[in-house]
């Protein structure tokens, strides 16, 4: 049975992903490592796999300098779109979370069984082909939709593994991007459901690059 922290993350995530236009409240408090660890213990093997996925995603992200030119622009456009309804979303935090979700999908590609994923990973084959080297219209809308109700179909890893990964990512975001100043106002902690949604977005961006035969830019050596 999922812990209270995981349940709250899931429930809040449903509101964030399925709601309409509204301001997303900041986190009520910092999610610390000890609380996350207690939640992962209750997840059992899924919790163990989520720790490994978090570690692997961090290693992959450290080797990236950017996503592909296509998915970089999609990420920029989406983060810009979220700036008003989610004032607690610092640009650096958004980049960190999206990149982490993208890198996590790469990690699963390399060792699916390690993260309880099937050998044949799901993709987004339904995306229309490019025309004259240009992506289809409304691609960002398609990507965002794939992070919502259809996400379990492309998630690849079990729900518990993803929940644990999103929780660990929330801990790190709260550690690296604490409350700070934004002009004359204080920026508040980013809500866990936003972290989860942005990680999903990054995961789907990797599927976009796979669909169109694109790759991120990596550090030399």
- pLDDT tens track for 115-165: 999 999 999 988 999 988 899 999 999 999 999 989 999 999 999 999 999
Q: How far is Cα 153 from Cα 200, in angstroms, rounded to an integer?
A: 12
At 44-61, the pLDDT tens digits run 999 999 999 999 999 999
Phi-psi region of 81 (alpha: psi -120 to 50; beta: other; left: phi over 0): alpha
What is the b/e burial string over 73-92, where b = at least 16 CB atoms within 10 angstroms of the residue's CB?
ebbeebbeebeeebebbbee
Percent of the chain with pLDDT over 70: 81
Distance CA 146, CA 151 (A): 6
pTM assigned to the model: 0.86
């Amino acid at each position: 049975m999922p812990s209270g922290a995981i349940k709250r993350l899931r429930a809040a995530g449903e509101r964030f992903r399925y709601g309409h236009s509204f301001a997303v409240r900041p986190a009520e408090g910092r999610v610390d490592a000890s609380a996350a660890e207690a939640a992962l213990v209750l997840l059992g093997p899924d919790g163990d796999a989520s720790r490994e996925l978090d570690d692997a995603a961090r290693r992959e992200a450290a080797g990236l300098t950017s996503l592909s030119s296509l998915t970089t622009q999609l990420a920029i456009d989406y983060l810009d779109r979220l700036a008003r309804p989610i004032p607690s979303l610092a640009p650096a935090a958004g980049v960190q979370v999206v990149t982490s979700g993208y890198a996590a999908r790469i990690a699963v590609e390399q060792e699916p069984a390690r993260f309880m994923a099937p050998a044949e990973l799901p993709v987004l084959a339904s995306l229309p082909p490019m025309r004259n080297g240009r992506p289809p219209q409304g691609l960002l809308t398609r990507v965002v939709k794939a992070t919502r109700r259809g996400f379990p179909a492309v998630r690849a890893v079990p729900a518990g593994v993803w929940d644990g990964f999103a929780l660990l990512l929330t801990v790190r975001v709260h550690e690296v991007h604490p409350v700070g100043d934004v002009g004359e106002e204080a920026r508040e902690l980013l809500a866990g459901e936003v972290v989860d949604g942005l990680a999903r977005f990054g995961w789907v961006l990797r599927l976009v690059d796979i669909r169109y035969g694109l790759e991120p830019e990596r550090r030399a050596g």
